[in-house]
């Protein structure tokens, strides 16, 4: 991977623009999600991913037991 240095200014409302070089290198498009994390060395990492539509998630997880959306919602709220 080629080292690429690009800069952007943080505005008063903490927004910034992703530099053109970064957008091109990582195929960043409008509507994508930016994920921020801190790695084990304490350094910031940024990842770009496409936003997933709920229809794309259908069938992604297989359970060993039957369930329905109402039951899943109950389980979610009972664990909060």
Length of the chain: 80
Q: β-strands 44-49, 33-38: how paired? A: antiparallel
Convert the pLDDT of each residue in 41-63 to its tens digit. Answer: 999 999 999 887 777 667 777 77
53 vs 75, residue with greater confidence: 75
pTM of the model: 0.57
Question: Which of 62, 32, 59 is closest to 47 using CA atoms?
Answer: 32
Instruction: Map residue 26 onto helix, strand or coil.
Output: coil
For the beta carbon of residue 19, count every other beta carbon within 10 angstroms: 15
Is residue 40 within 8 Å of residue 59, measured between CB atoms?
no
Residue-wise pLDDT tens digits, 5-43: 899 999 999 999 999 999 999 999 998 999 999 999 999
């Amino acid at each position: 991977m080629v080292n690429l240095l690009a800069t952007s200014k943080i505005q008063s409302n903490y927004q910034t623009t992703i530099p053109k070089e970064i957008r091109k290198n990582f195929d960043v498009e409008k509507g994508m999600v930016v994920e921020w994390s801190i790695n084990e060395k304490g350094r910031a990492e940024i990842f770009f991913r496409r936003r997933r539509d709920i229809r794309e998630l259908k069938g992604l997880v297989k359970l060993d037991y039957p369930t329905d959306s109402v039951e899943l919602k109950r389980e979610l709220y009972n664990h909060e």
